Amino acid sequence: MTKYDLALKQALIEECLSARSVHEVALRHSLSASLLRRWIKGYEQIVSQEVV
């Protein structure tokens, strides 16, 4: 089991990818910016695989 559910991760990733900075989103949600960047990187890898 993961600490953060998929729906929360997706919402935070979408928030980061819109005009907001990763750092700002991390601060607002009491998360590490590096954690959010890892989630974003994983998300981008999945999306790029689906496009191909």
On whether residue 28 sits in a domain, the answer given is yes
Our count of domains for the chain comes to: 1
On whether residue 1 sits in a domain, the answer given is no
Angle at 15 between CA 10 and CA 18, to 5 degrees: 125
Q: Which residues of the chain have pLDDT under 70?
A: 1, 52
pTM of this structure: 0.85
Nearest alpha carbon to residue 20 among 46, 41, 11: 11
Range of the domain at 10: 6-51
**What's the confidence (pLDDT) of residue 20?**
75
